[in-house]
Chain A
Amino acid sequence: MFNNVLLCTHGTDGAKKAEAFAFKKLEADPELKVTMLTVLDEDWRQMTGDDWLNSNKTHTTFLDHVENQMNEEIAEEWQRIKTSYPVAERAKFLQRTGNIAETITKTAKELGCDLIIIGSWRKSKKFSIHSTRMGLRTTMTNKDLHPLLPCPLLVVP
């Protein structure tokens, strides 16, 4: 029914369910095109807060570090996916920087996707000292995402 799927992931439990679902479909349907999208949140820029002592150069070094670090972590994440789902070799991997809802919908439009798959919302584990995750903790709200959608959205429970 769908030919071109955009799978959005950032390594959380919810996103992992979405991965499992999408790769099962990919296994079943050899014609299906799957693109894995990981978004580097542009709000990293705000993380320097009210710092005014550091020079512009230090700020740039910091943001470069964030970007390299995120690239590494995203690459590790993809490695994990490729190891757990051999079929993922057929998928295309993509990384973008920007506002999350806007980037997802923009990418879907560019690639001509007919379905966007995301994980479902889960209770935040922010105060658990055992939680592991990468990047910023962000919840994308339906209010932000829905008005921009170019195609159907599938939320995997």
Chain B
Amino acid sequence: MSQIKDQMPTLIMGGSLLIYGLIAKTGALLPVAKYLHTHKTMDLQVTMTLIVGCIAIVGALINTTRKPGTSKLDTFVLRPLGGIVLILVMAMAIRWYAEPLMKIISKGLQPTLGFKIYKVLNLNYVVLGILAGVLLTNTWGIPKFAGEGVKCARFVLKMGVIMLGARYSFAELAKLGVYSVFLVGFFVLGTVFLVLWLGNLFKQPKSMTGVLSAGMGVCGVSATVAVAPVVKAKSAEMAYTIGTILSFGIICMFVFPTIGKLAGMSPVQFGAWAGTGILNSAQVAAAALAFNAVDIETLKVAEIFNITRVLFLPIIVLVLATWFGKETGQKLSFKSVVIDKFPVFIIGFLILFFMSSVGLFSPPSHYKGKYIDVSYNDRSQVTPEEWEVLNTAMAAGEFSGLTPTQLEAVTNLVEQHQIAGNFEDRADKKAFDKAGRARMTQLQGVLAAAKAKQITLSADVKAAIKHAVKQVKKKSKTVVTLTDFMIWFFAFGLIGLGMQITKKAITQAGGWPIVMGVIAGITKATLSFFVVLWLIKDVVLN
């Protein structure tokens, strides 16, 4: 009987997902989805809810009939099922409902507040997901049925990082790698020494400055946890330090994207800044996705910096161990710190990177899965309304300021309803493509001229031309799908990690660590902000 009771939450969630999926399949939810601007995800919503719902119900039913044992299926599927379904339900609710609602509400509040809450606080699904996780832990606590499943968060986040490997090119990785090694190296060592110096200045015990310097320098709580036993930190010192780092990190997660947007940082610059300045590595990913959730440029940069930091961690542990080794008598060998702790998932990241480099996901002629397709296709056409706008503007002579080649491109767009080559050339693919691409370039020139105010075009006309250009810029379906998977993995992992942040841990902040931590943290964030703005100007990712 108690087994049925234990499985009730999973059964209810599975049932609700199934019902939702079936209703969505009939199309009854389309008006709601249109209002929320999520109608494009409707197919995905149906598939995902039906699959997850079925698995949840089947798994829960198996769990009710027999007690989970210790077999592989039990440990990895049946036991964690409840938690996995819970996090998935949260992720779906946030991506399809909470985030769009937040956008609509903040748009509605804009006249009264004068700004968009959504824009200022970057309340996209990633931030909302972490917040939801934090809220759940600190109000009801992680429900009992979900305890095992929440433990999968780290695993799924690792999968996200591995999948991200598919999005880099050699040139990008080489360039970002160099930047990250220099920036991270400089700031890691700088902060470690700053904190050690501050500790000396304020006459604080070495064990305290040891944990704090690692935490502020390398990667937050992870470094503190790794270093504390090495430097034999006192209990209060660990508690103060972890509390300080957690609260500082959470504040950073909200402040960094806002400052980055206000300062007009480019995605690459922001990724580098977040990767250097934010302490906890999960929060780096969160801030990067908060800055730019649709395109993953920022995440790409931030994650390279993150990985560099991960690789720096053992070095810092070794350095601090030698530093304190004389007093504690503890000896750490190179092997026990560096080789035994080497994160294997980084090799996975590299494997996916090599697969992508040899052109497995998109042919070499495509740049990172993006390509231009000017062949005749319904999906490349402008909408009938847009065509009407263009046709009227044409008749009214609105395009008089254009150069002859630009005018030819616009005229051809009106004739063919899409950017394309010459109809008579359609058998000769090369010539056809060449003419189409030339027209696209001309149309982009029209838009640039309009932006520079050399010519005046009505907003509707500009929008129509922009749409036409956008329609022929296709993305490889493989790359888009892989990215979607990766984004879901990150969302799942970050919600699960959010559930590990407890109020009790945060409120341990205090004492000398908060004084020294705030000094060191703000110094690092400010300095790295200027260094990144000064140093990183020319890296452009596509």
Interface segment, B86-94, B454-462, B497-505? B497-505
Report the Cα distance A125→B493, complex, angstroms: 36
A136 and B233 contact, CB distance less than 8 A:
no
Q: Contacts A50-B500, A53-B222: A126 and B341 contacting too (C-beta < 8 A)? A: no
Compute the total of residue contacts between A and B using a CB distance below 8 Å.
114
Known interface pairs A49-B502, A50-B280; 15 further A-B residue pairs with C-beta atoms within 8 A, sorted by A's residue number: A50-B246, A50-B283, A51-B220, A51-B221, A51-B222, A51-B500, A53-B343, A54-B225, A62-B229, A66-B238, A69-B235, A128-B511, A133-B236, A135-B236, A136-B504
A127 and B514 contact, CB distance less than 8 A:
yes
B242 and A49 contact, CB distance less than 8 A:
yes
Contact with A along B506-532 (1 / 0, CB 8 A): 011111101100000000000000000
What is the interface size of chain B, counting residues whose CB is below 8 A from a CB of the partner?
Answer: 46
B-chain residues with CB within 8 Å of residue A135 when the two chains form the complex: 235-236, 239
B242 and A58 contact, CB distance less than 8 A:
no
Q: Any chain A CB within 8 A of the CB of B232?
A: yes
Q: Any chain B CB within 8 A of the CB of A153?
A: no
A48: nearest chain-B partner, CB-CB: B225
Contact partner of B505 (CB less than 8 A), chosen from A49, A54, A127, is A49
- Smallest Cβ distance from A156 to chain B, in angstroms? 24
Residues 56 to 82 of chain A near chain B (Cβ within 8 Å): 57-59, 61-62, 64-66, 69-70, 73
Contact partner of B221 (CB less than 8 A), chosen from A43, A49, A70, A136, is A49
In order of increasing CB-CB distance, the 8 nearest A-B pairs are A126-B510, A65-B229, A50-B497, A53-B222, A51-B222, A52-B154, A49-B221, A51-B221
The B interface is mostly helix, strand or loop, or mixed, namely helix
A41: nearest chain-B partner, CB-CB: B504
Contact partner of B235 (CB less than 8 A), chosen from A46, A59, A134, is A134
B-chain residues with CB within 8 Å of residue A128 when the two chains form the complex: 511
Max chain A CB contacts within 10 Å: which of B219, B236, B313, B512?
B236
A to B CB contacts below 8 Å, 21 in the list = A43-B502, A46-B500, A47-B505, A48-B225, A50-B280, A51-B280, A51-B500, A52-B157, A52-B158, A52-B222, A52-B497, A53-B222, A58-B226, A65-B229, A66-B238, A70-B235, A126-B507, A131-B511, A134-B234, A134-B236, A138-B504
Q: Contacts A49-B221, A49-B246: A73 and B280 contacting too (C-beta < 8 A)? A: no
Report the Cα distance A122→B197, complex, angstroms: 34
Q: Contacts A47-B242, A50-B497, A129-B515: A137 and B313 contacting too (C-beta < 8 A)? A: no
Contact with B along A8-39 (1 / 0, CB 8 A): 00000000000000000000000000000000
B-chain residues with CB within 8 Å of residue A49 when the two chains form the complex: 221, 242, 246, 280, 500-502, 505
- Smallest Cβ distance from B393 to chain A, in angstroms? 54
Max chain A CB contacts within 10 Å: which of B225, B511, B514?
B225
- Smallest Cβ distance from B541 to chain A, in angstroms? 25
A137 and B508 contact, CB distance less than 8 A:
yes
B236 and A132 contact, CB distance less than 8 A:
yes
Q: Any chain B CB within 8 A of the CB of A55?
A: yes
B-chain residues with CB within 8 Å of residue A51 when the two chains form the complex: 220-222, 225, 280, 500
B343: nearest chain-A partner, CB-CB: A53
Q: Contacts A50-B498, A51-B222, A52-B282: A43 and B504 contacting too (C-beta < 8 A)? A: yes
- Smallest Cβ distance from B324 to chain A, in angstroms? 13
Q: Any chain A CB within 8 A of the CB of B281?
A: yes
B221 and A48 contact, CB distance less than 8 A:
yes
Q: Any chain A CB within 8 A of the CB of B382?
A: no
B497 and A136 contact, CB distance less than 8 A:
no
Report the Cα distance A18→B49, complex, angstroms: 58
B510 and A127 contact, CB distance less than 8 A:
yes
Contact partner of B225 (CB less than 8 A), chosen from A46, A59, A129, is A59
- Smallest Cβ distance from B195 to chain A, in angstroms? 15
A-chain residues with CB within 8 Å of residue B157 when the two chains form the complex: 52
Q: Any chain A CB within 8 A of the CB of B228?
A: yes
B-chain residues with CB within 8 Å of residue A132 when the two chains form the complex: 236
B506: nearest chain-A partner, CB-CB: A49
- Smallest Cβ distance from B326 to chain A, in angstroms? 19
- Smallest Cβ distance from A56 to chain B, in angstroms? 10
A136 and B498 contact, CB distance less than 8 A:
no
- Smallest Cβ distance from A60 to chain B, in angstroms? 10
